[in-house]
Amino acid sequence: MLDLEEEPEIDLDADDGNAEAEHEKTAAKQPRKKKQHRKGGTLIPAEDGDFERPRKRHKLRSSDPSPGRSRSTIADSSSPVSSSPVSSSSELPADEPQSLLDLQPLSPTPPPSSLHRFPLPSRPHAPEKAELASQGLDRALASAQLVDPLLSTPLSPDEGGDNFTGLSAKTLRRLRDLGIVELFAVQTTLLPLLLPSERHKRSLYLPYDPPSDICVSAPTGSGKTLAYVLPIVEILCTRAVVRLRALVVLPTRDLVIQVRETFEAIAKGRGLKIASVTGQHSFSHEQSQLVEKTPSLQGGSSKVDILICTPGRLMDHLNGTPNFSLQHLRFLVIDEADRLLAQSFQGWLTQVLLATRPPSHLEAGAAHGEETLIPYPNTLSPAFLHLLRGGPAVQTDLDEKRESSCQKLLFSATLMNDPGRIAALELRNPRYMVVQSSNESQESGVLDIVMEKFSMPTTLKEHMIVCDSSQKPLVLFHLVHSIGITNALVFTKSAESTLRLARLFEFFETARSTGQKNATQYKKPVVVQDYSSDLSPSERKLILSKFRAQEIDMLICSDLISRGIDIEHVTHVVNYDAPVDMRKYVHRVGRTARAGRIGDAWTLIEEQEARYFKGMIKAAGHGPAISRLRVTERQLAPLAPFYHVALAQLKGTYTRTS
Ligand SMILES: Nc1ncnc2c1ncn2[C@@H]1O[C@H](COP(=O)(O)OP(=O)(O)OP(=O)(O)O)[C@@H](O)[C@H]1O
């Protein structure tokens, strides 16, 4: 018996045998073209540049159970080729097979003796995540400078100033007065870049040799604020005329206040004028703080050297305050850059960049509604219009290309790698600086940034507790009363949850202290306060100052203060509601373990969230850093009665108010 077996090769003919037979007929009728033919079923270019398709090849085996299946045989019998001498059985030599089925399929070209096998289809090679992340990587980011977080520079009280850091004797004295005896890693690396030893590079105007922009990614609490405050103060101190030369943009009012305090502390006694605008005061009051009331001046006018602001209020002044000009800016700082660039805030960035860029003659003319002296033919690109000037080609310094002297400085603990957003910044020869563990290679360090594996403070201990959602308040009370957590920020998911949890906590503390009045282990109730955008700015300011003064033990807060806020004595952060993404996690837990101090972060995870949260931290390569804890029913039992009392009281409050 004969067996017809198809070789495991890919047949590009979607058609059946008829098409093939048809092809065979045509091939036989036509004079043989000078074409290359298939070899082993592969596509082989013909001399005329065409490609031929491979055809199915059949192999005959002597054990074929179904001889009638031979497509080749049927095609052959009807083919004109069958009239050729070899196709006639009567003319076959005696030792040839007598059955048609014994014949090899006929073909205009004899089959090659050995045919190459096509490789079997296999799974395509999927690139590694890291490989994908590195594709199209910004060149500046790829050559980012990795900085060891343990790097530091001791500050010498030398009166003559420090050549290595570039700080003057006055600044060094001021730092010593503030108790700062060394520079942290981010400051050690950034200061020499911003305070070069060549004096001319410290000029207030650098139109022909503009400075490079700098992007810094460094962990929370690593001292990024001082890293820009020190060089700005140092350079602006050389100014004679007050102009707005440094603009610091921050996402929240609370941060504006904090950064202003840092500027004031460092610049004390140096004569620099520092202001902030956040919308806390009336617009006209802010205007009077910022500009002189003079007729409109082309160069603007300013009463301040350094302005710290939120983007929304900055827009208001840019659009509505006469003489408010950014043309003299030497520094534009965007702190918490990823947060600020993630939201448009009325397209603040585009407007600010436009206000710092020197306009062309045409733009200037159009802006002032003046008629330009330059003709406007449609044959030239507007960028080449200056070539049309009549008269002798005399080059004056006014014609030279000058650039804005404004140096952009971007900071975040979670710097973004979004090419679109980075492009919007119009960075000039940007340099990236990344503070993170030095045991990683340059390549993997940069990839960590690209893949958003953020670096954390080395002094931070992280824990997570998975529990039933109904037990979360009890677990929090357990952390406070059994583990001894105090001086803590407790983050919830919304302003409303903040208020509710704070009320419940207060009721719990009252119930507990009443229930233990006569007990020997009586402890004074924990002082709790809610903190969210539901409160007025003045209320928030008061609460923060009380918390700083440790009159409040625990702030139950929304994400309003998850970024940037620096409160020295915070030793614990509790994520009462789990953060929705890794950035939020990094910033929240970064409110503790700052400036080399130790701190603990606790994340309560509801059972149904556990999978998502674990996936999130695993993707960020952060899984091993977080220890898993279990809190048993037995541990919670002693606190349960007070909790039930508090819960009933809270329900009563909400029933009464609704
Ligand atoms: N060289 C230094 N020596 C001692 N303390 C410092 C030094 N530099 C900064 N600090 C202190 O470290 C704390 C954290 O600094 P800072 O707020 O600038 O951190 P950050 O990197 O901006 O953090 P975040 O990303 O959370 O905003 C502040 O209290 C600051 O005063």
599 pocket-lining for ligand 1 (C-beta < 6 Å): no
Between residues 147 and 54, the one the model is more confident about: 147
pLDDT confidence of residue 9: 34
Distance of alpha carbon 210 from alpha carbon 34, whole angstroms? 67
Angle at 505 between CA 503 and CA 510, to 5 degrees: 95
Centre of ligand 1 to C-alpha 259, Å, is 11
At residue 159 the predicted structure's pLDDT band, cuts being 50, 70 and 90, is low
Residue nearest atom 30 of ligand 1, based on CA coordinates: 223
CB atoms inside a 10 Å sphere around CB 604? 24
Q: In ligand 1, which atom is closest to the CA atom of 179?
A: 4
The answer to ipTM > 0.90 is yes
In a mutational test of the pocket of ligand 1, which residue from 226, 459, 568 has the highest number of ligand atoms less than 8 Å from its CB? 226
Are 609 and 444 in contact by the 8 Å Cβ rule? The answer is no
pLDDT confidence of residue 5: 35
220 pocket-lining for ligand 1 (C-beta < 6 Å): yes
| Longest distance between any two alpha carbons in the chain, whole Å | 122
Which are the contacts of 304, defined by CB distance < 8 A and separation ≥ 6?
242, 244, 273, 274, 275, 289, 290
| One-letter amino acid for residue 174 of the chain | R
First to last CA, the chain: 90
- How many whole angstroms from its chain centre is CA 390? 51
Are 84 and 49 in contact by the 8 Å Cβ rule? The answer is no
CB atoms inside a 10 Å sphere around CB 499? 18
310 pocket-lining for ligand 1 (C-beta < 6 Å): no
Dihedral in degrees, nearest 10, Cα atoms 297, 300, 301, 302 = 170
pLDDT confidence of residue 395: 58
At residue 438 the predicted structure's pLDDT band, cuts being 50, 70 and 90, is low
188 pocket-lining for ligand 1 (C-beta < 6 Å): no
DSSP 8-state secondary structure symbol assigned to residue 101: G
Backbone torsions φ then ψ of 145, nearest 5 degrees: -85, 120
Q: In ligand 1, which atom is closest to the CA atom of 225?
A: 18
Are 490 and 555 in contact by the 8 Å Cβ rule? The answer is yes
231 pocket-lining for ligand 1 (C-beta < 6 Å): no
Model-wide pTM > 0.90: no
Is residue 474's pLDDT more than 50?
A: yes
Are 448 and 436 in contact by the 8 Å Cβ rule? The answer is yes
At residue 444 the predicted structure's pLDDT band, cuts being 50, 70 and 90, is low
At residue 116 the predicted structure's pLDDT band, cuts being 50, 70 and 90, is confident
Which are the contacts of 511, defined by CB distance < 8 A and separation ≥ 6?
641, 642, 645, 646, 649
- CA dihedral (623, 614, 501, 469) positive or negative: negative
Question: What mean pLDDT value characterizes the chain?
Answer: 79
Centre of ligand 1 to C-alpha 310, Å, is 20
Which are the contacts of 563, defined by CB distance < 8 A and separation ≥ 6?
251, 252, 255, 336, 339, 587
182 pocket-lining for ligand 1 (C-beta < 6 Å): yes
413 pocket-lining for ligand 1 (C-beta < 6 Å): yes
Mean pLDDT of all residues in 241-245: 93
Looking at 238-309, which runs of residues are DSSP E strands?
246-249, 274-277, 306-309
251 pocket-lining for ligand 1 (C-beta < 6 Å): no
180 pocket-lining for ligand 1 (C-beta < 6 Å): yes
- 31-45, 235-249, 448-462: least confident range: 31-45
